[in-house]
Structure 1
Amino acid sequence: MNNYDAYIFDFDYTLADATNPIVESFNYAFDKLNLKRASYKDIVNTIGIPLGEAYTLLTGDKSEESVNLFKKYQKEKSDQITVKQTVFIGEAKKVLETLKSNDKKIGIVSSRWGQRINDILVNLDARDLVDIIIGTEHVEKYKPNPEGLFKIIDMMEAKNVLYIGDSYIDAETAQNAKVDFVGVTTGTTPREKLERYPNVAVLDDIAGLLEI
């Protein structure tokens, strides 16, 4: 392995796939608000974006009241289904296990609620593989602002960091934090867009991380 002492991951579409519960909880919230349901593809394209911004992108509605109601209803449904329906992508768990066995520090910085990630990892019998989780409740400014990365790097006392993500937002976050980046094409951002940003590699499978 390289001389990185810390490997920090995005969550959705980098380590895990929660597509079905995300789509279901979004459309549940739209139903509660008497709004037209969004298409599967349109909702998927907002994954990785903070919830309020995703709502505005899908509806054009910026009102604080509507955004807060959407968040409330989305969470209501998500609480019921997300933990049990989220799965690892490919060899993601093996990658975490291998890094852990090599005494690497492992963290997650995500635009998802951190407690939800914690619960998902517990359900997947993998919570002990991740040292620190930084979610939206832990920062004031969301990605691509590097606040979350800076915070976790400081908490880990890490010296040489690699950030791994599936989105151009992750690439911009790494660039803003001035840390090395590996892109994975398991999300909605195409390879050619990820390759426009400074990167160590762009991988089709996160298992390739162990070969860098």
Structure 2
Amino acid sequence: MMMERGILFDMDNTLLQSNINFKKMRADIAEYVKKHGITNGVDESLTSGQIIELVREKGMTSLEEKLWEIAAHHETEGMNGAVLEDGALSMLQQLKSQDIKLAVVTNNAYEAGKRALIENNIFHFFDEVIGREGMEALKPSPSGLLYVIKKFPNILWLMVGDSWIDGKAATAANIPFIGYQKDVSFYNAHGIKPKAVISRLQELDQFI
């Protein structure tokens, strides 16, 4: 019996052309935690999410809440007017016509992600959308991916995303990863060996 197939998508700069300034978000979050006396372990290798996870581990709930507010501000600002990546709509229509399970796993807040997907008329294509509230830990943790895999068992999944954190999450979840609009050397530099790297979403049909 042939197994069903499924694709997990990152959202920002994979399905939607996001204007979120991730560098500024990270800088604001790092500056805020340092002002509150946390400097140990906050180095340039950490993402915004990893810095917040560090604060969570220290049990600093009020500080964590403030950091999520900073992140949410950048997300809301950056997702305003977000438009589809070229070829996203036709790709999703084609995949859905093949009865392929589709899911989004984003480090953004669920409501911000849902709103952006609805505004671009693609929310209905997805069987599951996971925002950060649905994860135990943000990508590069595989938590969100594993949630979807558990909810929809007996499906051959693969992950598509532009960032190294997507590749790390896919690797940890033991599913193939396809990089989007980055050179393979970018992923290799982070210890990721993608199944493939594509420059256009329409190229996905080669791997289904």
TM-score (norm 1): 0.72
The CA deviation string for residues 59-80 of structure 1, in whole angstroms up to 9 with x for no partner, is xxxx87666435325535754x
Is the contact made by 1:185 and 1:203 (CA closer than 8 Å) also made in structure 2? yes
Question: Which residue of 129, 132, 136 corresponds with 1:136?
Answer: 132
Question: Which residue of 175, 178, 197 corresponds with 2:174?
Answer: 178
Question: Which residue of 95, 100, 104 corresponds with 1:108?
Answer: 104
Counting only pairs closer than 5 Å after superposition, residues 1-212 of structure 1 correspond to structure 2 as 5-19=5-19, 22=21, 26=25, 49-51=47-49, 53=51, 68-73=65-70, 75-76=72-73, 78-79=75-76, 81-185=77-181, 190-195=183-188, 197-212=192-207
Could you say if the C-alpha distance between residues 52 and 183 of structure 1 is closer, same or farther in structure 2, counting changes exceeding 3 Å?
closer
Could you say if the C-alpha distance between residues 85 and 176 of structure 1 is closer, same or farther in structure 2, counting changes exceeding 3 Å?
same
For residues 170 and 192 of structure 2, the distance between their equivalents in structure 1, rounded to whole angstroms, comes to: 9
Helix, strand or coil for the counterpart of 2:155?
coil
For residues 192 and 4 of structure 1, the distance between their equivalents in structure 2, rounded to whole angstroms, comes to: 31
After superposing the two structures, state which structure 1 stretch, 119-128 or 150-159, moved more. 150-159
TM-score (norm 2): 0.73
The CA deviation string for residues 4-54 of structure 1, in whole angstroms up to 9 with x for no partner, is 6111111111111121x547x959x79xx8xxxxxxxxxxx99xx445738
Could you say if the C-alpha distance between residues 141 and 84 of structure 1 is closer, same or farther in structure 2, counting changes exceeding 3 Å?
closer
TM superposition shift of 1:152: 0.6
Is the contact made by 1:83 and 1:119 (CA closer than 8 Å) also made in structure 2? no
Structure 1 match to 2:36: none
- Runs of 5+ unmatched residues, structure 1: 34-44, 57-62
Corresponding residue pairs, total: 186
Could you say if the C-alpha distance between residues 73 and 146 of structure 1 is closer, same or farther in structure 2, counting changes exceeding 3 Å?
closer
For residues 77 and 145 of structure 1, the distance between their equivalents in structure 2, rounded to whole angstroms, comes to: 22
For residues 16 and 192 of structure 1, the distance between their equivalents in structure 2, rounded to whole angstroms, comes to: 24
> Aligned partner of 2:199: which letter?
D
Is the contact made by 1:5 and 1:160 (CA closer than 8 Å) also made in structure 2? yes
Could you say if the C-alpha distance between residues 95 and 107 of structure 1 is closer, same or farther in structure 2, counting changes exceeding 3 Å?
same
Is the contact made by 1:15 and 1:89 (CA closer than 8 Å) also made in structure 2? yes
- Runs of 5+ unmatched residues, structure 2: 33-43, 55-59
